[in-house]
Amino acid sequence: MGANLFWVWMVLLAVGVMLIAFGGKRDDGTHASSIEWGYLAILGGAFGLLSDHMSFTAVMLLVVVVTGGVWLFDKLVLAKRRQPGVVVPHYIDFPRGFFPVIAVVFLLRAFVVEPFQIPSSSMRPGLVVGDFILVNKFGYGLRVPVLNKVFVPVGTVEHGDVVVFTYPENEKVSFIKRAIGLPGDTVEYRNKQLSVNGKPLPRLSVGEHSYLEQGLMLVQNQRYTETLGKVSYDTLVIPEAPVYNPAGVRSFALRENCEYRDDGFSCKVPQGHYFMMGDNRDNSEDSRYWGFVEDRLLVGKAFLIWLNLGDFSRIGKSIH
């Protein structure tokens, strides 16, 4: 977290405390609306500060536990002692009021669907910067929040799935790539030709494709339609660019499963891991560089673009 953001969250907390402290009551004895805004400010500030040390899911779980604890304590203990007509203290009233809403949002995000925003061009041409997408959270099994361990097996990753996962080098960050290699597969990429288990993936040239990177630099590519398993999708390639940048390859776990040469590389995917690549092959940081994705890092399968403020025509497009 940058220093500026830290102080934004601190100011939000301070404003929240002041709104609560000086909020007072209305003439009828009920709490002033400024107190509710104060609690919302504290909630926002706490989310911001904690998110620098915990995942968003962990922060939400903590808030659910705290507000749920207040709700339960009031229901089982305080409500029975409270005299009729007595105004519920604001430190009980507002947390217990927040609990049902936060709990529903948490359950939906944890087990049903979660929104994400596309931050880079690594999945062009299918996904572009500014796309807001929805991710199926149960397609790869219902998972224990935070621990991300499967407790109800539902489905598994398939070749060609567009997968959101936690970045192996920084588990506070989410990445989106295409699943190229499943456990036990051998993935090979030489001279811009991708092969899985010794079989080159069929691809058809569909002409040139260009886009503006960050609105400043025009990037020229060749566009191909590639088929992996049951899925066909478009990829971008810069013919003159190298297959990978040797300087960018890290000393990742299980790197001994990979062999790098001047014309490309070959990797044997370990059990419980996946090999991910971006569709924008020459502008993607992926498993070529930072290695395999463990099953415990999977978030879900991307399936829909639900918003793009810069291009409304993209809304409602399915992801494949």
- In order, the DSSP letters of 211-264 are EEETTTEEEEEEEEEEEETTEEEEEEE-TTS-SS-GGG----TTGGGEEEETTE
What are residue 212's phi and psi, to 5 degrees?
A: -90, 120
Which tokens sit at 131? 């796309």
Give, as one character, the DSSP assignment of residue 160. T
Active site (annotated) includes residue 199: no
CB 64 within 8 A of CB 57: no
Q: How far is it, in rounded angstroms, from Cα 29 to Cα 23?
A: 12
CB 186 within 8 A of CB 259: no
Between the two ends of the chain, the Cα-to-Cα distance in Å is 34
- Among 303, 2, 293, which Cα is nearest to 165's? 293
Q: How far is it, in rounded angstroms, from Cα 194 to Cα 188?
A: 6
Q: How far is it, in rounded angstroms, from Cα 153 to Cα 171?
A: 23
Q: How far is it, in rounded angstroms, from Cα 110 to Cα 117?
A: 17
Q: Which of 55, 120, 122, 287 is catalytic?
A: 122
**Alpha-carbon dihedral of residues 194, 276, 229, 161, nearest 10 degrees?**
-150
Place of tokens 């926002």: 44
**81 dihedral zone (left: phi>0; alpha: psi -120 to 50; beta):** alpha
Active site (annotated) includes residue 232: no
Q: Is 161 helix (H, G, I), strand (E, B) or coil?
A: coil
User: Is cis: bond before 125, omega within 30 of 0?
Assistant: yes
Q: Which of 177, 192, 284, 287 is catalytic?
A: 177
Residues annotated catalytic, as ranges = 122, 177
